[in-house]
Homo-oligomer: A and B are copies of this chain.
Amino acid sequence: MTKPTGKTGSDQRSRGTGAAIIYDALRDEILRLQLRPGEALDETGLGTRFVCSRSPVREALIRLASEGLVEILPNRSTIVAPIDLQRVPSYLDALDLMQRITHRLAAIAHDDADLLAIREAQHRFAGSLEVSFAENDSVPMIEANYGFHMAVASAAGNDYFLTFYRRLLDEGRRMLHLHFIFQRRDDRGPEDLLSDHEALIAAITERDAEGADAIAHEHAAQFKGRFMEFMTRSLTADIDLSNMPRRAE
């Protein structure tokens, strides 16, 4: 073997992928709430878990921090970013507007490939609904829903909006998981979500910007209503108020 490639072991990662792997893994676990908000992430521990030094771990944490998914406390441990309930109203406003603009632009600027991708995403969403219903696990549905809206937003053809919308949807995934952990069954049946998406696809296909905008807005408003209701209903009863900062007024 005179080959100069350095692949000695079996699962030896090719150079440069270390940080990316850790980043993806942590990001997934954070968004799925497998790592709970506020949980500590020490670099040495992560270094032993993924078999590598602290340098790739550090790089992954820095990238996660600049996306707001973790918080690096200087000279102390880095923690999974807590979900700040006071920011929820702002968040819902932002999600609403970005969903409107991306879906509206999608109706205007899409091409045939975009439509195909959207229909595929919708197909996967329909399949995930059955899986979620059968196994009583909301994770597949949440992720497929994320994929659907990202497919629509991609058709808008504006990277700036897409990037921002993706960040909002990421944070939304955490909230949705939180939502389904407390309340297993949704008030609305899954069929309604499916038909909402179908209506959206129809509007986009017909290049009906106003219609897509309105459906996106209504979609966001429903999410907002469900989430706010969920918060006022189940959180105020259980939550410990002692460590909750009071409103500055």
Which A residues contact B (CB, under 8 angstroms)? 15-16, 55, 58-59, 62-63, 66-67, 74-75, 87, 90-91, 93-94, 97, 101, 157-161, 164, 168
Contacts and interface: CB of A to CB of B under 8 A. Distances in A.
Closest 3 CB pairs of A and B: A94-B160, A66-B66, A90-B158
25 contacts: A16-B74, A16-B75, A55-B55, A58-B59, A59-B62, A62-B62, A62-B63, A62-B66, A63-B66, A66-B66, A66-B67, A87-B159, A87-B160, A90-B158, A90-B159, A90-B160, A91-B160, A93-B161, A94-B158, A94-B161, A97-B97, A97-B101, A97-B161, A160-B168, A164-B164
A9 B116 CA distance: 64
Contacts of A91: 160
Chain A: interface secondary structure?
A: helix
A160 B169 CA distance: 12
A168 B16 CA distance: 30
